[in-house]
Amino acid sequence: MDIFLQLMVSGVAVGGIYALIALGFVLIYKATSILNFATGEFMMLGAYFCYTFLVLLGLPVIPTFLIVMLCAALLGFLVERLILRHMLGQPTISIVMATIGLGSILTGLAEILWSSDFKSFPQIFPRAPIDLGFAIVRSNMFYGFLISITAVIVFSLIFKYAKVGIAMRATANDQMAAYSMGINVRSMFTLAWALGAIAAGLGGVVIGNIGGIQPNLGQIGLKIFPVVILGGLDSIGGAILGGFIIGVVENLAGGYLGPYFGGGVKDLAPFVLLVMILMVKPYGLFGKREIERL
């Protein structure tokens, strides 16, 4: 079997998961202009919510997924209402530091509630690997990819066609104009945080099912920043494409360069690619060029 095709397929599968988590980041930034550096911790808590309801409480898979989405939405709602809403109008660096601090707090809470021990999910998908004919994909990665892509499509359709999605887009483009048209801007902020938390939480469920969970799982969120910056920060399509690009690039780098330079190549490759692209397109692939008039 061609190793190139195998690496490409695995990279696409991972990229779909990256795209889902990046979507959580972009939804929040697009509507509120806030960089949520706690996205990785939202993802980590989604995985722990799933573990709690699926393993500790023994609930079936489908109800567990629905409850995880509800818990993630509640988490986003509380963060926006209790923390970020009081910081409107504050310098950007203050808000960024607040989200970084929030990430540390959530990691500490996870260690207190679930301990720092490694935990694994029960097998919720068929164990047999998926044979595509030209490549073989692990079952949990294949079904995780399907879940991620389905969620990405649903979020994209909501944001593009639903009334609430159009209201969020209007708020993102011009808050004052949206307010003058009767849109409750504060409610749109809350909804953006809730939807962003749901996307990140579902990404955590998928990743947790593939590799297990522990409190530092949120560090995977660092891999999401090359994805969203590459795509253009406020572009949903860019986040999706960026996820696939980063997933494929890191997989190819790990497969072809890893044996010669060590395993660190796989983690380094996305950032090297990001720097190279930003040298040509400083606002990312689909980012909006900002012009300041003096």
> How high is the pLDDT of residue 30?
80
Taking phi over 0 as left and psi of -120 to 50 as alpha, with beta for the rest, 276 belongs to alpha
Average pLDDT, the chain: 86
> How high is the pLDDT of residue 53?
94
> How high is the pLDDT of residue 43?
93
Distance CA 265, CA 113 (A): 35
> How high is the pLDDT of residue 292?
45
Q: pLDDT per residue over 210-244, tens digit each?
A: 888 999 988 887 778 888 888 877 788 888 888 99
Six token digits for residue 216: 């530092």
Least confident of 6-15, 24-33, 185-194: 24-33
Q: pLDDT per residue over 77-135, tens digit each?
A: 999 999 888 887 778 788 888 999 999 999 999 999 999 899 988 878 788 888 887 78
- Sorting pLDDT into bands at 50, 70 and 90, what band is 294? very low
> How high is the pLDDT of residue 232?
79
Distance CA 240, CA 207 (A): 17
Enumerate residues 6+ apart whose C-beta is below 8 A from 8: 135, 248, 251, 252
- Sorting pLDDT into bands at 50, 70 and 90, what band is 160? confident
Burial class (CB in 10 A: 0-12, 13-18, 19+), 134: exposed
> How high is the pLDDT of residue 162?
87
Distances (CA, A) of 234 to 18, 30, 284: 16, 5, 10
> How high is the pLDDT of residue 288?
64
Q: How far apart are the first and last CA of the chain?
A: 59
Q: Is the confidence at residue 289, as pLDDT, over 70?
A: no
Q: What is the mean pLDDT of residues 199-217?
A: 90
> How high is the pLDDT of residue 112?
93
Distance CA 76, CA 84 (A): 10
Using DSSP's 3-state secondary structure scheme, residue 22 falls into: helix
Residue 252 parent element (H or E) = helix 236-252
